[in-house]
Amino acid sequence: MAGGVRQVEFENLAIPHAAALLRFAQRLCGDRSTAEDLVQDTLLRGWRSFGQLQADSNPRAWLFRILLNAWRSEGRRRSARPVEAPLDRAAHAVQTDLSESVVVSAALSRLSEDQRAVLLLAVVEGFTCKEIASMLDIPIGTVMSRLGRARAAMKESVGRKVGTK
């Protein structure tokens, strides 16, 4: 019975964040199927390490950190595989009238993984620089510089496509 109580506790903690994890993962990797696999892996890893979660910890930040670690682990495997480009992306590239969301997605995909992760965590998910530094286990100054560079690159890239500066 104790395992059932533990499972309910984990579900009550994790499930409210599942949609945000999926949204973040999809923007991080650019592919819904890969994002779903990443979230599933995150929840499995979270379940396995649930006993290590400190009572005073931020469970949302804890889950996002697990997702980022899973993404990095997958990145090492990804780098050994050839890059696949879905046909619908090629069709978007051919169009001359790009929608704003396609422009932003393309700009995001051109950022380094580190910059993209920090930008999404800060702007989309609303984490503070201090929380992001803790999640990524990097100095807060590094978070701020990556965030600044990511914002500048996005402004440059999106401004160029839309015709503004």
End-to-end CA distance of the chain: 61
How far apart are the C-alpha atoms of 162 and 165, rounded to whole Å?
9
Q: Does domain 94-165 have CATH number 3.40.50.1970?
A: no
Where do the CATH 1.10.10.10 domains begin and end in the chain?
94-165
Asked whether residue 37 carries a pLDDT value surpassing 60, the answer given is yes
Q: Is 6 helix (H, G, I), strand (E, B) or coil?
A: helix
Please give the pLDDT value at position 89: 52
Residue 66, class by beta-carbon neighbours within 10 Å (0-12 exposed, 13-18 middle, 19+ buried)? buried
41-78 per-position pLDDT tens digit: 999 999 999 988 888 888 999 999 999 999 988 775 55
Q: Is the pTM of this model over 0.75?
A: no
CATH level 3 topology of 1-82: Rna Polymerase Sigma Factor; Chain: A (1.10.1740)
Average pLDDT, the chain: 82
Please give the pLDDT value at position 74: 76
Q: How far is CA 18 from CA 42, 67, 69, 89, 143, in A?
A: 10, 11, 16, 26, 24
The token pair that represents 70 in the structure block: 């899973």
Where do the CATH 1.10.1740.10 domains begin and end in the chain?
1-82
Asked whether residue 132 carries a pLDDT value surpassing 50, the answer given is yes
Asked whether residue 87 carries a pLDDT value surpassing 60, the answer given is no
